[in-house]
């Protein structure tokens, strides 16, 4: 109750420009409308809330995406949180509820490094518009990035709290406040308990991350603490994390119970019937050449990224490119590290003829799942993973 009151009060103060922190609570300040970090290398899709993605050629520059080139996806205003008063609570179906400050978290549970790709479920949304316009942030294919995250293991924290019998889901709640249809609520969601506890050297588990690419998280990416759920859509990696609740039910938060579902009609019955999206799908995109590039010569170097499905244990087996509309396909060469839950970079040289009109890419996993030629249209434009096509102008 106290923290809810202080949150509302700070929202009020923040909007009148008076900065005030309450001691012993998470009391965020709120960043003004112009939140774009000054050094960013992103295309801004919406300013309020801030949503931005890099151009596709940027994705190729580094296997670990620099923070300045890492997409930002916010549903509300990013809260600016005072780390000194910050506390994380863990409650619900646990033997011993915990309240932990940032330094307590690190001292008790250590810092572990996990490299994982984050991608928004709405990445490539604009490709659905070819069938019928989809509302929402109009993402090209840049709402994806690979970072080195550091933090405490979620599984260690949950084990310390002691999971009670009957527990099935782990809820996360952020400190942002989102207003939709007259109601204000935090961003949140949940993951199955099995995923929250899974952790092996090959398939790294979930983190309560304080660091991104060797530095404290930036405000935009969730300072001072966020979850990282390798293999799951970005929405499950909750930023500005304030609360973890263990439950026998999935989270009732809007972003788990209603949003982030693949539906073809927007009725309460259809929403209820659809399961929440957890894993991201197998995907690959061409990052160079750019769409409608003027190209000449007999051979062309094509480069891009590919990401296996977020299902544990799957990896990319092949990435293939076609320069003749899909009649013939050529295998590409992997040019980056290959790790579970991480994208990889690939490159290939294809023959260029005056008949070449476009390039296509598709990938196959080690368990023989292939990308579909097209992803069936859905109302909210999630999980697009059809063959990526880049048109060319050959001279
Ligand atoms: N608290 C909070 N967490 C959040 C969000 C948000 O709006 N609020 N957006 C989610 C979504 S939809 C995605 S794709 C990722 C994006 O993480 P990034 O902005 O660090 O790239 O954060 C997730 N975590
Ligand atoms: Mo997202």
Residue 34 in this model has a pLDDT that exceeds 80? no
- What does the pLDDT read at residue 115? 97
Residue 292 in this model has a pLDDT that exceeds 70? yes
Could you give the C-alpha distances from 212 to 2, 118, 236, 359, in angstroms and in order? 31, 12, 17, 34
- What does the pLDDT read at residue 22? 38
- What does the pLDDT read at residue 181? 85
Q: Which residues contact 149 (CB under 8 A, 6 or more apart)?
A: 113, 114, 115, 116, 207, 209, 211, 212, 228
Distance 187 CA to ligand 2 centre (A): 11
Beta bridge partners of 364: 318, 370
Q: What's the mean pLDDT in 149-155?
A: 98
User: In this predicted model, what pLDDT tens digit does every residue of 355-394 receive, in sequence order?
Assistant: 899 999 999 999 999 999 999 999 999 999 999 999 999 9
User: In this predicted model, what pLDDT tens digit does every residue of 53-109 receive, in sequence order?
Assistant: 999 999 999 999 999 999 999 999 899 999 999 999 999 999 999 999 999 999 999
Q: Pick from 146, 234, 240, 255 the residue to mutate for probing ligand 1's pocket: most ligand atoms within 8 Å of its CB.
A: 234
Q: Nearest ligand to the C-alpha of residue 146?
A: 1
User: In this predicted model, what pLDDT tens digit does every residue of 182-211 receive, in sequence order?
Assistant: 899 999 999 999 999 998 887 899 999 999
- What does the pLDDT read at residue 180? 85
- Complete DSSP assignment for 311-335: STT--EEEEEEESSTTSS-EEPEE-
**By percentage, how much of the chain surpasses pLDDT 70?**
91
239 lines ligand 1 (CB under 6 A): yes
170 lines ligand 1 (CB under 6 A): no
94 lines ligand 1 (CB under 6 A): no
- What does the pLDDT read at residue 395? 87
- What does the pLDDT read at residue 28? 65
Nearest CA to ligand 1 atom 5: 74
**C-alpha span between 30 and 21 (Å, rounded):** 11
Q: 283-394 has which CATH code?
A: 2.60.40.650
235: closest CA among 270, 261, 273?
Answer: 261
388 lines ligand 1 (CB under 6 A): no
235 lines ligand 1 (CB under 6 A): yes
Residue 367 corresponds to which tokens in the numbers above? Answer: 């368990």
172 lines ligand 1 (CB under 6 A): no
C-alpha 310: how far from chain center: 12
Nearest CA to ligand 1 atom 2: 239
Confidence band, pLDDT 50/70/90 cuts, at residue 35 = low
2-8+18-31+38-273 and 283-394 have identical folds: no
Query: Is the Cα torsion angle 314, 371, 63, 277 positive or negative in sign?
Result: negative
Residue 279 corresponds to which tokens in the numbers above? Answer: 């894993």
**By percentage, how much of the chain surpasses pLDDT 90?**
85
User: In this predicted model, what pLDDT tens digit does every residue of 208-265 receive, in sequence order?
Assistant: 999 999 999 999 999 999 999 999 999 999 999 999 999 999 999 999 999 999 999 9
Nearest CA to ligand 1 atom 8: 187
**C-alpha span between 356 and 43 (Å, rounded):** 29
Nearest CA to ligand 1 atom 19: 72
Residue 142 corresponds to which tokens in the numbers above? Answer: 């840049």
**For domain 2-8+18-31+38-273, is the CATH number 3.90.420.10?**
yes
Residue 349 in this model has a pLDDT that exceeds 60? yes
Nearest CA to ligand 1 atom 20: 221
Where are the domains positioned within the chain?
2-8+18-31+38-273, 283-394
């Amino acid at each position: 109750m106290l923290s809810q009151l202080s949150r509302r009060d700070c929202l009020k103060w923040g909007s009148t420009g008076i900065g005030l922190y309450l001691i012993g609570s998470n009391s965020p300040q709120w960043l003004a409308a112009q939140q774009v970090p000054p050094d960013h290398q992103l295309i801004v899709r919406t300013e309020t809330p801030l949503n931005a993605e890099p151009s596709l050629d940027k994705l190729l520059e580094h296997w670990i995406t620099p923070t300045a080139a890492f997409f930002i996806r916010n549903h509300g205003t990013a809260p600016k949180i005072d780390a000194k008063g910050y506390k994380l609570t863990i409650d619900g179906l646990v033997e011993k509820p915990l309240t932990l400050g940032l330094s307590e978290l690190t001292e008790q549970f250590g810092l572990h490094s996990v490299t994982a790709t984050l991608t928004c479920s709405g990445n490539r949304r604009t490709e659905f518009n070819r069938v019928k316009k989809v509302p929402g942030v109009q993402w090209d294919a840049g709402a994806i990035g690979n970072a080195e995250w550091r933090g405490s293991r979620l599984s260690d924290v949950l084990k310390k709290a002691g999971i009670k019998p009957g527990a099935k889901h782990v809820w996360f709640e952020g400190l942002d406040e989102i207003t939709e249809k007259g109601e204000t609520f935090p961003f949140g969601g949940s993951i199955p308990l099995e995923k929250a506890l899974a952790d092996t050297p090959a398939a790294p588990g979930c983190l309560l991350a304080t660091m991104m690419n060797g530095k404290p998280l930036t405000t935009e990416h969730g300072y001072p603490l966020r979850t990282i759920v390798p293999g799951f859509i970005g929405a499950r990696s909750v930023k500005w994390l304030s609360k973890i609740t263990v439950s026998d039910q999935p989270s009732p938060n809007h972003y788990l119970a209603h949003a982030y579902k693949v539906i073809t009609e927007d009725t309460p019955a259809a929403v209820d019937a659809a399961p929440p999206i957890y894993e991201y799908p197998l995907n690959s995109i061409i990052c160079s050449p750019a769409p409608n590039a003027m190209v000449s010569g007999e051979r062309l170097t094509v480069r891009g990224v590919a990401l296996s499905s977020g299902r544990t244990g799957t990896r990319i087996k092949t990435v293939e490119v076609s320069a003749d509309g899909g009649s013939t396909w050529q295998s590409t060469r992997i040019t980056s590290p290959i790790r579970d839950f991480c994208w990889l970079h690939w490159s290939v040289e294809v023959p260029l003829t005056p008949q070449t009109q476009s390039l296509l890419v598709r990938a196959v996993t080690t368990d023989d799942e292939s990308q579909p030629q097209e992803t069936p249209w859905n109302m909210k434009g999630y999980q697009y993973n059809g063959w990526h096509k880049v048109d060319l102008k050959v001279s």
